Amino acid sequence: MRTKQTELSPEAIQLVAERFRVLAEPLRLRILQFLRSGERNVTDLTALLSTTQPNASKHLRLLQEAGLIGRRQVGTSVYYFIADPSVFELCDVVCTALYARMSAQARLLERKGK
């Protein structure tokens, strides 16, 4: 974990923005969530996501191009897996912050209701 604040170059900022753009799609986050427990093939993911195979493949390709997932082929089946587990650290930070914010808002609403 970085402890020092450093100024990012415009190129680095562009890379960070691209990573966030990839993660801004709920279906891609769901794919990552399913792959967190282990590798899966497109057929499994299509069923879990309740989407079409072309749609799942499109999102898998984008996640792979971003370096977040990898793939391996076994015969005619392609299996996808998490290639960059640090993505879950980012998700955990965001989820923790959202939970804290929602808890604070719920406490405020509860106080107003009394």
* % of the chain beyond a pLDDT of 70: 96
pTM, entire model = 0.81
What pLDDT digit, counting tens, does each position of 35-63 carry? 999 999 999 999 999 999 999 999 999 99
SS3 per-residue string spanning the chain: CCCCCCCCCHHHHHHHHHHHHHHCCHHHHHHHHHHCCCCEEHHHHHHHHCCCHHHHHHHHHHHHHCCCEEEEEECCEEEEEECCCHHHHHHHHHHHHHHHHHHHHHHHHHHHHC
